[in-house]
Structure 1
Amino acid sequence: MRTLNARTVCCLLLSCQYALCTLSPDSKAKSKSKNSKFLRGPQDNDVFDLKLVSPKPSPKDIVMHNEAYYKDTALRRFNGTVLGYVTPWNSHGYDVAKIFAKKFDIISPVWLQVVKQFDEYAVAGTHDIDAGWLSELRRKGKVQQQQAQRTVKVFPRVIFDHFTDRDIKLLLSDAGERTKLNEVLIQSCKEHSFDGLVLEVWSQIAGRIDDKILYTLVLQMAKDLKKQQLRLILVIPPQRRDMSNLFSERHMDRLYKHIYAFSLMTYDFSSLQRPGANAPLYWMRSAIDHIAPDDCHDVEVKRSKILMGFNMYGNDYTPDGGGPIISNQYLELVRPLKKPLLNDERDVENFFEIRTETGRHTVFYPTLYSINERIKLAQELGVGISIWELGQGLNYFYDLF
């Protein structure tokens, strides 16, 4: 599961800058010649034409092709709903959203927080809203479909920030408080022309309160938004040993008719305490079956609303612990590797082991192969996809979607 701690670590990692050495005229020429082998930007062939989708990918191929992508960015291979998260602390994600805008149905900027100001509710984080970027995203995300035109929708994520137990109890127990909250959220959506909201609250308070009260909060928000032609996406936790009942089939039964979609956080299966694959394929399948089994009522409708989480970050495990990594850290580690990456056939993830000046590393990070296998699973199960987060992965990954 994506946790606040994990996000904080990612923020810190993203804040690191890599210093560039000063080059002499001769070394500049050599560097230019060497870098000419690295492909960047739009290309005539996609990753399938180039036969790069391999169970044991070559480090050389990863380094050479990762910044390139197929020139027809409007081509979509996956026919389900695709949501992509972007964050203020990863500016490359904003660029990725624009470049591949036609591949996404929904973009969710991680901008907003609900806060209490004395007895009133307010929306914080609006300083991160970039009106120019939103306008360009919508323009680039326009797609002609038969006689109609659609464009990518924008559903910013919202969380409850610095709420005390008293604040939570008041909100859950008083319909008037919920109405006040929803009015503030609706006003923010209208002011910035949002299409809806992604609500991340279930993991925060589920298990601490009666489910009936939590249903009331979510359902009232969904209904109030719908009256204003706005929609609600609910972030939900996956099945785990320690919290398998936080969101189950009975929760889905109660909510699916009212919620636009469910963003299922099928990542962070492993941890520093239990190193391994980030999102084993068998576990992702099990997480879907847990809330919408094959034989359940209205299974096709329920599954069409589930957005199975794809991580675009990885983990670098070291004897001291290690932590999450994104594209630049991954490329630094994979570049000196000579042998093909290993394939964990049970978890269907690639990894490698390497020793550097800082010690031994075991690195799990998405590859074209691991992502493609998860797209196949999403197609098989009839679910959508949610990507955490754009900009953390490699550009050529988007040839797959």
Structure 2
Amino acid sequence: MAFLDWKLCTMKLLCVALAFGLACHLVTATLSKMDAKKSASKALEEKTVHSDKTVQDRGLVTTDLKAKDIILEHKSYCAKKVKERHFSGDVLGYITPWNSHGYDIAKTFGNKFTSISPVWLQVKRKGKERFQFSGLHDADQGWIKDVRKNAKNIKIVPRILFDGWSYHDFESVFGSEDEIEELSQVMVQLAKDENFDGFVVEVWSQLGNQKQKELIHLLTHLSEAMHKARLKLTLVIPPAVSPG
């Protein structure tokens, strides 16, 4: 009986030892995989820095682009070409406050753009010949200075949205040259006070293709007032939507 007890005890000890050894092996293997992932991640991060080659030289301008190439190269750019433009036309770039990375992009690649439009401002009609601008708390004068320092010819043209305007508000402004003149002057003054180069206006789609003649008259007056003050006015026109 003592012999059997000793044998059973020995078998239990062997089972425990085997289980412990297997657990240690699995833990070691898991740690090794994690270490490998960290190493691979570090290697990837090291590659996503400045490159001596352009995207063309790296074969990234192609119709057969692979997902792994995007993952590997999406943070990498050719530092030597950062100030060169390859397109002679106007290039407008939007920046949204909810994506702060756009502010850094504008500072780094400002020379690639002719205009940068931070999505900052809204204008509301508060009564006859009374207009109120909101969103100025987002305007960052330090950032504007940094962008202009790196891109001498760039224009800072914040977007203005006609926020909360009713059909009656539009009709009232359309029907009054005094209101149109007042809106033009407060926009010009705002640009001067805040050191803007003009504005990007979003209003075209708000009337659903109604009152187009009157809207064009308003925009023409705004444009003339802005240009007279050596400021830019850009109108956003969305693509046409066909029935069906």
Q: Could you say whether these structures have the same fold, taking a TM-score greater than 0.5 normalized by the shorter chain as the test? A: yes
Partner of 1:58: 66
Partner Cα separation in structure 2 for residue 137 and residue 26 of structure 1: 45
Q: Which residue identity is paired with 1:32?
A: K
Partner of 1:42: 50
Partner Cα separation in structure 2 for residue 82 and residue 68 of structure 1: 21
The one of 161, 164, 172 aligned to 2:163: 161
Partner Cα separation in structure 1 for residue 146 and residue 243 of structure 2: 43
Let me know the Cα RMSD of the aligned residues.
Answer: 2.0
Change (3 A) 1:99 1:154: same
The one of 103, 107, 118 aligned to 1:94: 103
Moved more, 36-45 or 166-175: 36-45
Partner of 1:227: 228
3-state SS, counterpart of residue 113 of structure 1: strand
Partner Cα separation in structure 2 for residue 136 and residue 187 of structure 1: 23
- If you compute each CA radius of gyration, which structure gives the higher value, 1 or 2? 2
The one of 205, 208, 228 aligned to 2:207: 205
3-state SS, counterpart of residue 116 of structure 2: strand
Partner Cα separation in structure 2 for residue 186 and residue 79 of structure 1: 28
Is the 1:198–1:232 contact (alpha carbons within 8 Å) kept by the matching residues of 2?
yes
Change (3 A) 1:25 1:125: farther
Are positions 1:33 and 2:42 aligned together?
Answer: no
3-state SS, counterpart of residue 213 of structure 1: helix
Task: Give 1 or 2: higher strand fraction.
Answer: 1
Provide, for residues 275-327 of structure 1, a one-character-per-residue CA deviation record: whole Å limited to 9, x for no partner: xxxxxxxxxxxxxxxxxxxxxxxxxxxxxxxxxxxxxxxxxxxxxxxxxxxxx
Partner Cα separation in structure 2 for residue 121 and residue 192 of structure 1: 17
Partner Cα separation in structure 1 for residue 236 and residue 59 of structure 2: 35
How far residue 123 of structure 1 moved from its aligned partner, in angstroms, is 1.1
Partner of 2:142: 132
Q: Percent sequence identity over matched residues? A: 37
Partner Cα separation in structure 2 for residue 55 and residue 212 of structure 1: 43
How far residue 60 of structure 1 moved from its aligned partner, in angstroms, is 1.3
How far residue 121 of structure 1 moved from its aligned partner, in angstroms, is 0.3
Q: How does 1:2-401 map to 2 (within 5 A)?
A: 29-35=35-41, 36-38=43-45, 39-72=47-80, 73-119=82-128, 120-142=130-152, 151-209=153-211, 211-242=212-243
Q: Which residue identity is paired with 1:189?
A: A
Partner Cα separation in structure 2 for residue 40 and residue 101 of structure 1: 21
Partner of 2:18: none
Q: TM-score, normalised by structure 2?
A: 0.81
How far residue 31 of structure 1 moved from its aligned partner, in angstroms, is 3.5
Partner Cα separation in structure 2 for residue 206 and residue 175 of structure 1: 23
Q: Which residue identity is paired with 1:171?
A: V
Q: Which residue identity is paired with 2:138?
A: D
Partner Cα separation in structure 2 for residue 217 and residue 224 of structure 1: 11
Is the 1:101–1:152 contact (alpha carbons within 8 Å) kept by the matching residues of 2?
yes
Q: Which residue identity is paired with 1:131?
A: Q
Change (3 A) 1:97 1:219: same
Q: Which has the higher contact order (CA 8 A, sep 6+)?
A: 1
Q: Which residue identity is paired with 2:93?
A: G
4+ residue runs of structure 1 moved beyond 6 angstroms?
24-28
Q: Which residue identity is paired with 1:33?
A: S
Change (3 A) 1:26 1:224: same
Partner Cα separation in structure 2 for residue 235 and residue 226 of structure 1: 17
Partner of 2:14: none
How far residue 212 of structure 1 moved from its aligned partner, in angstroms, is 2.0
